Amino acid sequence: MTQPNQPQYQQYPGTGGQPAQYPNSGGYPAQPYPAAPPAYPGAMQPKPSGGTAITAGVLAVLGALWGLFSAISTIVVLADFGGELPVISMIGIGLIGVEAVLLLVGGILIFVKKPAGRWMVIAGCALALVSSVLAIVNTSIVASEVGASGAVVGGTMGMAVIVALPAIATLVLAAVPPTGRYLRQG
């Protein structure tokens, strides 16, 4: 029989009629929680946000514009010296042109959610890193031919590192798994 002013508790096996209490709960009984619904195949998965993919696409297009500017300025600077261009300069200008095309087309393909754009951006970023190294080598060769100081080579090395940082960031953003999930979503 229960007392008139006392709450009624459900009896659980092994509790002796006393409600279960959590430590530091202020004497309130523990409430049983319902079990979580079972997961089933085909459950709705949240859509990937695409933040990394969109950022990689924007950086790729900006990298393409930088590559075009860099190729044009390299041609102008080397034309001022006159004479034949070193073979490494021609290779560098060619790599910068291919890099710019890969980044531009890859960035646009990322915007329209095509997985091929991701791989084009990765390849373009790899070429950007290679062209940064070639810029250092090319400047060293040209500086030694015209008798320029070591400051010219050092400045080029600093610029190559600064230019390589956005390429590395774009490469990482294009390569991370959330970008791939966003592009596979279609």
- Asked whether residue 95 is assigned to any structural domain, the reply reads yes
- Asked whether residue 161 is assigned to any structural domain, the reply reads yes
- Asked whether residue 43 is assigned to any structural domain, the reply reads no
Query: How far apart are the C-alpha atoms of 22 and 38, rounded to whole Å?
Result: 27
Q: Is 86 left (phi over 0), alpha (psi -120 to 50) or beta?
A: beta
pTM: 0.67
- Asked whether residue 149 is assigned to any structural domain, the reply reads yes
Query: How far apart are the C-alpha atoms of 32 and 139, rounded to whole Å?
Result: 74
Domain enclosing residue 124, as ranges = 84-185
- Asked whether residue 14 is assigned to any structural domain, the reply reads no
pLDDT at 156: 76
Given a cut of 80, whether residue 16 has pLDDT beyond it is no
- Asked whether residue 21 is assigned to any structural domain, the reply reads no
98-147 confidence digits (pLDDT tens): 999 999 999 999 999 999 999 999 999 999 888 888 777 777 777 777 77
**The total number of structural domains that make up the chain:** 1
- Asked whether residue 19 is assigned to any structural domain, the reply reads no
- Asked whether residue 50 is assigned to any structural domain, the reply reads no
